[in-house]
Amino acid sequence: MTARTIWRDSEFIAWDDATVHVLSQSLQRGSLAFDYLSVHATGRGIAVFRLRDHVERLAVTCEIVGLPLDYAVDELVDACAETVRRNPGAKSVKISALIPSIEAELVPQDPRVSVFIAAYDGDRDIIGRNRGRSHRRTELSLKIEREKRNRRDDIIPPHAKVAANYTAAMTAKWRARQEGFDDIVLLDEDGWVTEAPTANLFLVDASGGLATPPANKVLLGITRASIIELASRIGRRCEERDISVDELRRAPEAFLTGTSEGVWPALRIDGEPVGDGNVGSVTARVRETYRAVVRGEEPAFEHWLHYV
Ligand code: PMP
C-alpha cells in the first residue's frame, strides 16, 4: 500500500485500485500505448521535461495502433501536471492508454480507451516494494544483439510506444543481462544499428561530430531530439544517418539517451572497450549540458520545462 494517487479517466484513485481485469483486451493482446516522462527539481520548482511533446507522442502511438483516445492533448497535459502536484517526490510519470474491456476476439467490441497517469519514484515506490534491486548503471556495457531485430515498419513501426513492440527486445535484453551486459543494441533487417530497447543510440566520430540512426528506424526519443538540438550549442555537428556495426565498434565514443537517465556513456561493446574505455570528453560535455537543461540552468531551453 502506498499513499500515491493515480489519475484514471478524470478522477484520482488509490495506487492499489489502478487495476484491470486479467482478460482485458490490452493485457491479452499487448495493445497498451504508453509514454514515460521525467520530473525534475529546479531552482524555480518542480518541472516535467517536455511534457507536451511526450503527450503528443502518446497521441501518435494511439493513432498508429488505432486506439480511439477520447482526450485532447491539453487535457492530458493538465492531468499529468496535476498528478505530479498530488504526488510529492515523484521522479517519473507513466501515462498508459489501454482497452480495459474483456474481449472474446482480437478486435474489441468495446474499444473504449481508459487513460491512467501515475507519478512516482521508481526506486522507492516500485523496486523497493518489490524487494528488488535496481540494475541502474550510469555507464554501460552493451551487447550487439544479432538474433532479434528491431521492430519492422510493415508490422508496427518503431515510432509507436505500444506494449507489443517491446516483447522481442525484452527477451533479448533479459538474456544479455544474464550474460553480464547492461543493455543491447538492436539492428534492423539489413544489419544497420538502430537503438536499444528503451533508449536511442549516438556515437562520436573521429572528428568529434555526433551521429545517430535515422528517424525512420527508431522511436523518436524526446531525449534524442533534445541532444540533436543541444549538439550545435556545444559546437558539434550531429548527423542522422545509417550506422554500421563496424562503425559503432570503432567509434571513439558512444552513448545511449532516454528519459530515465538522460545520457548514458557506453564503455564497452561486445566486451571490447569503446575508445580508451573511459567516459569520453564529448559524451561528458553532452551529459553535463543535458543535466543543466533539465535542472533549469540553461535559460535558452527553459521552454522545455513544464512547471507544475
Ligand atoms: N527507444 C525506445 C524504443 C524507447 O522505448 C525509449 C524510451 N521512451 C527511447 C528510445 C528513448 O526515448 P525518450 O528519450 O523519449 O525516453
pLDDT computed for residue 136 by the predictor: 85
258 lines ligand 1 (CB under 6 A): yes
Q: In this predicted structure, what is the pLDDT of residue 150? A: 85
Say yes or no: CB of residue 224 within 6 Å of ligand 1: yes
- What residue's CA is closest to ligand 1, atom 8? 198
pLDDT at 192: 97
* 253 Cβ inside 6 Å of ligand 1: no
Mean pLDDT, rounded, for 95-121: 97
Q: How many angstroms separate the alpha carbon of residue 260 from the centre of ligand 1? A: 9
Identify the residue whose C-alpha is closest to ligand 1 atom 4.
198
If you average pLDDT over residues 255-275, what whole number do you get? 97
Our answer on whether the CB atom of 262 is closer than 6 Å to any ligand 1 atom is no
Separation of CA 2 and ligand 1 centre (Å): 27
Distance 27 CA to ligand 1 centre (A): 21
| Ligand 1 atom closest to the CA of 36, numbered from 1 | 8
Ligand 1 geometric centre to CA of 269 (Å)? 20
Confidence class of residue 240 from pLDDT cuts 50, 70 and 90?
very high
Residue 255 belongs to what H/E stretch?
Answer: strand 253-258
Average pLDDT over residues 258-287: 97
Is residue 130 very low, low, confident or very high in pLDDT (cuts 50, 70, 90)? confident
Coil/strand/helix, residue 170: helix
Checking if the pLDDT of 97 tops 80, the result is yes
**pLDDT band at 153, cuts 50/70/90?**
confident
The three cell numbers locating residue 79: 492531468
Q: Give yes or no for a contact between 143 and 181, defined as CB atoms under 8 angstroms apart.
A: yes
Q: Please tell me if the CB atom of residue 199 comes closer than 6 angstroms to any atom of ligand 1.
A: yes
pLDDT tens for 181-210 read: 999 999 999 999 999 999 999 999 999 999
Band (1; pLDDT cuts 50, 70, 90): low
Alpha-carbon distance of 262 to 259, in angstroms, equals: 5
Helix boundaries (H) for 179-280: 222-233, 245-250
Which residue, judged by its Cα, is nearest atom 3 of ligand 1? Answer: 198
**What average pLDDT does this structure show over 16-30?**
97
Handedness of CA 77, 78, 81, 83 (dihedral sign): negative
For residue 132, what pLDDT is reported? 77
Say if residue 22's pLDDT is above 90.
Answer: yes
pLDDT at 134: 81
> What value, to the nearest 5°, has the Cα angle with vertex 83 and ends 222 and 124?
80
pLDDT at residue 103 tops 60: yes
Ligand 1 centroid–CA 209 distance in Å is 22
Q: Determine whether the shortest distance from the Cβ of 92 to ligand 1 is under 6 A.
A: no
Query: In percent, how much of the chain has pLDDT > 70?
Result: 100
Query: Which triple of cell numbers denotes residue 23?
Result: 482478460
Q: What is the reported pLDDT for 2?
A: 73
What distance in angstroms lies between residue 147's CA and the mean position of ligand 1's atoms? 21
User: How remote is the CA of residue 105 from the centroid of ligand 1, in Å?
Assistant: 31
Residue 120 has pLDDT above 80, yes or no: yes
The contacts of residue 176 (CB under 8 Å, 6+ apart) are 143, 145, 183, 184
Give me the pLDDT at residue 152, please. 79
Q: Which of 55, 259, 264, 286 to mutate for ligand 1's pocket (most ligand atoms within 8 Å of CB)?
A: 259
Closest residue by Cα to atom 10, ligand 1, is 199
From ligand 1's centre to the CA of 200, what distance in Å?
A: 6
- Residue 302 amino acid letter: E
* Residue 258 alpha carbon to ligand 1 centre in Å: 5
What is the pLDDT at residue 55? Answer: 98
Average pLDDT, rounded, for the chain? 96
Does position 76 have pLDDT exceeding 80, yes or no?
yes
For the entire predicted model, the pTM comes to 0.96
E strand or H helix that includes residue 287:
helix 281-294
